Structure 1
Amino acid sequence: MQKKSLKFAALVLAASLSGCGLLPEKVDETKDWPAAKLYSEARDELSSGNYEKAIQYFEKLESRYPFGTYAQQAQMEIAYANYRQGDQAQALAAVERFIKLHPNHPNVDYMYYLRGLINFNDNTGFFDFLSKQDPSERDPKAAHEAFDSFKQLAERFPDSKYAKDAIARMKYLVNAMARHEVHVANYYYRRGAFVAAANRAQVAVNEYRDAPVVEEALTIMVRSYDALGLTDLRDDAERVLKSNFPNSAFFKGAVAQSEPWWKIW
């Protein structure tokens, strides 16, 4: 009991001394640093993976030297540091702020690219088709936003050094989003929700017509319409499938089995 009383008294005394200005305040070591040194130290922290410290330095740099190239560079570095730290919300906010403030900056193409990367790496579970999560519950929003960012970069800055990689990522995203739609369509079909299955498969056909999984999407449409007794729609989907994929394995399997191909797939 006596020890607790002494400890409490010490805390009260420390608080009193601090309030009277008798205890030294924490000194900001960066207070007198010029812009070049503050930027250099921030870059060192960033290179070392100390993202939080790097962000603090960059924010001080922008605050103390708001005019000039250092401030603009600090804004870009803040976005990148938040991205590397895994804080997508702060990273995106920093990117959007930079693009709004400096739409004609020589390196604004990089910010479009970074925005795409942030969304590309967000919610990576969306692309995990082996998970047990209901595929219809996955949110493809980040994938669509990543695609849109890369598309803006490729269209606005076709000569950018980031354009080639952006286009490659766009192709990957198209195939991934198409696979997602087909995966969801299959999910519904297996559960007897044939209308939902046909609708989701049609999304893949209409929006991702160059994706390899379109063949499977058309197949799901034919099977779903057949299950619903919608023969006209089934025949239309079958004609599209035969026209675009005449050597489809589904047709070959049907001939070998002497059964309508959509019933044995």
Structure 2
Amino acid sequence: MKRLTISTFLAVALLSGCSSTEKVIPDVPPSDLYSTAQQALQSGNWNNAIERLEAMDSRYPFGAYSNQVQLDLIYAYYKNDDLPLSQATIARFLRLNPTHPQADWVYYMRGLTHMAQDRSFMHDMFNVDRFDRDPTPSRQAFRDFKYLLERFPDSQYDADAKARMVFLKNQLAEYDLAVADFYVRREAWIAAINRCQQVQRLYPDTGAARKSLLLEKTAYAKLKLDKEVSRTEAVIKLNPVK
């Protein structure tokens, strides 16, 4: 008797969920449904827009609005911080529409979603940068924007992509600098030197590269490598920390 009661309760709950969904997303012509989705997008009601766009994607996967629904979902998911869903939709869209006229925008959005993944709670709440976080999303975003510039040199998003690449390059350089500083504080001198040289090799035109020379000099001094200390001092004179 108890099993029957639980089963009945679950069935009612499921039916209630379905009926409530139908109330939220009525069975209307796709043009009407898309119109309400657009209104939600324009007003910044991302959850409302996503519900309607997902309903369209489910009900009319090969309809006249199919590609535009996918593009709208990419943007709505991004604005709603549903970043994995945005990235999954991007991958799906590019797989099915590799030569679409708005492919450059899709690659641009892929870079934005990876950048957004790199936001930390501490930075969002207190505007504090943390360079000890995983830099993988930033590296992927840099590659996304680089690919955009290479494949679509005349894209309207190129200027913004270039600016973001500069920001990302400095962010990644600061991350490696923080790792080098950690090694110095742990007296892991060889590891510190290797990381400093990595900063200088990968990001030579950044402030972090100039700062890394100071850490490298410290590590050489601790290892009593006087020749390397002198060489690093000469490089520091040519590249003073600003």
Task: Give TM class, smaller chain.
Answer: 0.7 to 0.9
For the Cα contact (< 8 Å) 1:39–1:57, is it kept in 2?
yes
The aligned counterpart of 2:22 is: 28
Find the aligned partners of 1:101 and 1:149 in 2 and give their Cα distance. Answer: 19
Question: Larger Rg: 1 or 2?
Answer: 1
SS in 2 for 1:213: helix
Distance 1:161 1:127, change over 3 A: farther
- Which ranges of structure 2 fall in alignment gaps of 5 or more residues? none
Give the aligned length.
229
1:80-99 to structure 2, matched below 5 A, reads 80-99=75-94
Cα deviations across residues 12-51 of structure 1 (Å, max 9, x unaligned)? Answer: 9x96xx7xx9xxx558365542222111111122233332
- Which ranges of structure 1 fall in alignment gaps of 5 or more residues? 1-10, 251-265
Cα offset for 1:127?
9.6
The aligned counterpart of 2:34 is: 39
What letter is aligned with 1:171? V
Find the aligned partners of 2:46 and 2:214 in 1 and give their Cα distance. Answer: 49
Worse-superposed segment, 177-186 or 167-176 = 177-186
What letter is aligned with 2:135? P
Distance 1:113 1:132, change over 3 A: closer
The aligned counterpart of 1:186 is: 181
Cα deviations across residues 141-190 of structure 1 (Å, max 9, x unaligned)? Answer: 11101111111111111111111101000001111111221122223223
Cα offset for 1:249?
6.2
1:212 equivalent among 207, 210, 213? 207
The aligned counterpart of 1:198 is: 193
Cα offset for 1:103?
0.8
Distance 1:180 1:88, change over 3 A: same
Find the aligned partners of 2:221 and 2:228 in 1 and give their Cα distance. Answer: 8
Distance 1:26 1:193, change over 3 A: closer
Distance 1:212 1:224, change over 3 A: same
Distance 1:60 1:44, change over 3 A: same
Cα deviations across residues 39-89 of structure 1 (Å, max 9, x unaligned)? Answer: 111112223333233222112222333335510011111121111111211
What letter is aligned with 1:164? A
**TM-score, normalised via structure 1 length:** 0.75
1:53 equivalent among 32, 45, 48? 48
The aligned counterpart of 1:241 is: 236
1:1-265 to structure 2, matched below 5 A, reads 28=22, 32-125=27-120, 137-242=132-237, 244-245=238-239, 248=240
For the Cα contact (< 8 Å) 2:207–2:241, is it kept in 1?
no
What letter is aligned with 1:192? E
What letter is aligned with 1:199? N
For the Cα contact (< 8 Å) 2:211–2:241, is it kept in 1?
no
RMSD: 3.2
Find the aligned partners of 1:190 and 1:131 in 2 and give their Cα distance. Answer: 22
Find the aligned partners of 1:104 and 1:27 in 2 and give their Cα distance. Answer: 35
For the Cα contact (< 8 Å) 1:185–1:197, is it kept in 2?
yes
**TM-score, normalised via structure 2 length:** 0.81
For the Cα contact (< 8 Å) 1:126–1:140, is it kept in 2?
no
Find the aligned partners of 2:150 and 2:183 in 1 and give their Cα distance. Answer: 37
